[in-house]
Amino acid sequence: MSKRLKLDNGTVKVQEPVPDPCTSDSSEEEEEAAKPEEIWGYNTKLPQRTAPPDLKHRCDVLNLKFHPQADRLVVATVDGRIALHNYSSERSDLALTLPTCKSTCRGLEFSGDGGLLFSGWADGSLRIHSMETGALKRRLPAAHPAGVFSVLPLTERLMASGDDDGTVKLWDYRTRASVLMPSSLAPVWDYRTRAEVMSVKQCEDYISDLICDDDQRWLVASSGEGTITSFSLRTRRVHTQCDMYEAPLTCMTFIKEQKKLAVGMASDQGKVPIFKWGHFGEHVNVFKGHPSSINAMVAATDSLLVMAYDDGQIRACNILPYKYFGVVGQHRRLPVEALALSRDGRMLASCSHDRLVRFWDIGYLYEKRFETKHMEWQERGKRGDAKKLLPSSKVKAASEFFSDLPREDEGMFFWD
């Protein structure tokens, strides 16, 4: 409050009060206060999240798949649970949990429209669930005499499955006989021999993966005995079987617009045989030099593969021509068991024996600057996988410990 003072000459002077620093406006303090960025010379704000946080489960995760039409991820754990999660770049929420089974689910696959989920179980059964309600729509209680390892829906009528004994079966899952389950008031379709349209035992070890082209002509199965076997879907007979490799074949994926087939091998040499589609008797190329066994692989583009290794690393490389890029992510030296690629190709999910589902944003793989020779992540080291860390990797190299400090031309600070 101002004061009016009368001077000796009769004039009046108005004296403004001196502002008290203890009672000054807080907004003025914020404006005058120095920001941490100005003091230390670097940005203290947290970076914006580009991938969902890790999903923690009560037990190990065996398999996972992304929904083909929505931002959803289905996860199968070793205790017989199947959970569906909604995800975004900031969070992931549990959307649906399917009825728990006493057995273990090892094979997962969505239908083309994402309305149905096909699953194979260790007790030899096959199940088909609705993704809208989670209800059990179809079941094959004794589909295989051994545990089912892989499943693959082919058309609106047909699905394929492979078991631990090397048997591949083809099913017409629309053939049905209505049976009322005691635990449900709704009828569930129970399949017997009428739904089985093909059964071939050509291998002596487990069927690790199944794949089919868009023309629905060939069904190809990889096995733990180290062979690739193709089946004709028209004649429903064996077409070709290649010579036996020295290690199990674990996974397959298409490259070059489904003209080539890349196969992962569980070998210390880490070989990747390449087959020409339709000619499965012998590979046309083979790429060596991978540091560990390959457990899973997905194709980000027609030539770019992302592979999960037994040493806990997830690596990216180009095929035809071959070029190694670097480490996409890691699971702390635990074997990475499964990989899944989202519908837009920008999100990668992986699981291991650490009870975690980890997400990796691999959108940078599609940028043009990734194909240049002078990339930032290639300049970090000339040799060694540990130094070739791609931007999605959550572990930094030791040489990057002081990478967030300002350069000499950006200012400097001193320790007391």
Rounded to the nearest 5 percent, the helix, strand and coil shares of the chain are 10, 40, 50
CB atoms within 10 A of CB 39: 10
Which pair of structure tokens corresponds to residue 325? 């890029």
Which pair of structure tokens corresponds to residue 124? 């030899």
Look up residue 407 and give its DSSP letter: -
- The strand pair at 207-212 and 218-223 is best described as antiparallel
The answer to whether the peptide bond before residue 321 is cis (omega within 30 degrees of 0) is yes
Residue 394 banded pLDDT, cuts 50, 70, 90:
low
Q: Mean pLDDT throughout 40-44?
A: 54
| CB-count exposure of residue 172 (10 Å: 0-12, 13-18, 19+) | middle
Half-sphere exposure for 45 (CA within 13 Å, toward CB): 6
- Could you read off the pLDDT of 260-313 as tens digits, one per residue? 999 999 987 778 999 999 999 999 999 887 888 999 999 999 989 999 999 999
Provide the pLDDT for residue 16.
Answer: 57
pLDDT higher than 80, residue 319: yes
* Average pLDDT for the chain: 80
CB–CB of 191/158 below 8 Å?
no
In angstroms, the CA 245 to CA 361 distance is 34
CB atoms within 10 A of CB 79: 15
Look up residue 277 and give its DSSP letter: T
Tell me the whole-structure pTM to 2 decimals: 0.78
pLDDT higher than 90, residue 2: no
Provide the pLDDT for residue 271.
Answer: 86
Provide the pLDDT for residue 6.
Answer: 56
Q: Which residues pair with 187 in a beta bridge?
A: 180
In the chain, the domains with their CATH numbers are 60-155+165-201+357-361 (2.130.10.10), 203-330+381-396 (2.130.10.10)
- Could you read off the pLDDT of 330-372 as tens digits, one per residue? 998 899 999 999 999 999 999 999 999 999 999 988 885 555 4
Query: Percentage of residues in the chain with pLDDT exceeding 70?
Result: 74
